[in-house]
Amino acid sequence: MDAAVSHIGKADRDDRSRASQLAPAAALGGGGALATGGLVAGGVPGHKVKRESMFERKPTLAGKMRQNLDIGGGAIFGYRSSAHEDFIDRVNRSKAASQAQSTGPGDLKAAARVADADNTIAAEQKVLDQMKRWRKKSHVALGAGSALAAAGGGKIAYDAAKRRREKVGKALSESARRRENALAGGTAVAGTVGTGAALMKPAFDREAKVWADDVKASEAKQKKASPKAYEFEREVRAKGGRMKEPVGLAQDKSVYTDNVKRIFPSGTSPETVAEYSGARARARQGRYFNKVWGQHGKIASGMALGAGALTAAGAAGVVGNRLHDKKKNGRKS
């Protein structure tokens, strides 16, 4: 009788402590999700994507594999950082060419192109700094998630070995315990993804607002530098003429600089053209980056909602698994 009571007591204590025993599975799942997210976003720490991997097509299968590994090593923020750095180099070369082709201080097209290049570079450097900050945050997530997953996995292995050695009574059957660990780990994965996405949404929105404010300030500088040029450009584009809104940034720049003499009133100084052109380039880049960060925010919002639903379903699964096992084996709640 005493042995039976003792056995039941052990099972009850095991049952009551099950919530704490789920922590290792949650740590393994959540840490794994955090580390994976950090790796996908930031890539391998210290890795820099080569220029030829970004822009040159490899003819052989081995070359394509090396190219994809190089790009994959940088992941999202690493690749984007390298791409922005390369673009800055190309704009600098374009600026040097415009300066070399200038016919003198009165060359309005050269003034426009140089100012456009200077402010494009400034905007690119600003977004490059944003990308680098996010890559550092991703690497922090990679390190923290890896440590958490390792701790959770180690504790699961230790507890399993301990149960085999001691052969104590168990409130849950082994099959139910495995299901519950899997459910807890999956719930932790979804919860980690959802929490991360929910935190990133306002952060991405703040980055987008930085560029929205930048666009407003740049447009104000455009109007101040040359109100007539600003209105003329808007009217021409509204009519859908030759200067209608171009598709890409490079096309926008070429259409604008090729029509400088049409845009500005006769007698406009090169300094005014440069001031207007610089503000215009900054506003153009700002609108593009505002859109990009805004899209990131929408993606994060969708991920948070989806992961939240999966987290709730996983938590319900953990409870349902416990109740099912108790009913099947005749255990009282």
Q: What sign for the dihedral angle of Cα 142, 143, 144, 146?
A: positive
240 conformational bin, left if phi > 0, alpha if psi -120 to 50, beta if neither: left
Domain ranges of the chain: 24-328
pLDDT of residue 4: 46
pLDDT of residue 221: 92
Amino acid 66 reads R
pLDDT of residue 34: 83
Q: Kind and range of the H or E element at 22? A: none
Q: Which of 122, 278, 295 is nearest to 207 (CA)?
A: 295
CB contact at 8 A, 180 and 322: yes
pTM, two decimals, is 0.69
Q: What sign for the dihedral angle of Cα 311, 312, 314, 318?
A: positive
List all residues 6 or more positions away from 21 whose beta carbon is below 8 Å from its beta carbon: 159
Q: What sign for the dihedral angle of Cα 249, 115, 120, 85?
A: positive
pLDDT of residue 118: 92
pLDDT of residue 268: 83
DSSP letter (8 states) at residue 1? -
Query: How many whole angstroms separate alpha carbon 162 and alpha carbon 21?
Result: 13
pLDDT of residue 167: 57
Residue-level pLDDT, tens digit, the chain, 333 residues: 454 444 444 544 555 456 666 778 778 888 888 888 888 788 889 888 887 777 777 777 787 788 778 877 887 888 888 989 998 999 999 899 888 888 888 888 888 889 989 999 999 999 999 989 999 998 998 898 889 888 888 887 777 777 666 655 455 566 666 777 677 777 777 777 777 777 778 888 888 899 999 999 998 999 999 888 888 777 766 665 555 444 455 556 666 766 777 778 778 888 988 899 899 889 888 988 898 888 878 877 877 777 778 778 777 777 777 677 666 665 544
Q: pLDDT per residue over 18-56, tens digit each?
A: 666 677 877 888 888 888 888 878 888 988 888 777 777
pLDDT of residue 19: 60
Q: What sign for the dihedral angle of Cα 2, 8, 11, 12?
A: negative
pLDDT of residue 332: 46
Q: pLDDT per residue over 223-282, tens digit each?
A: 999 888 888 777 766 665 555 444 455 556 666 766 777 778 778 888 988 899 899 889
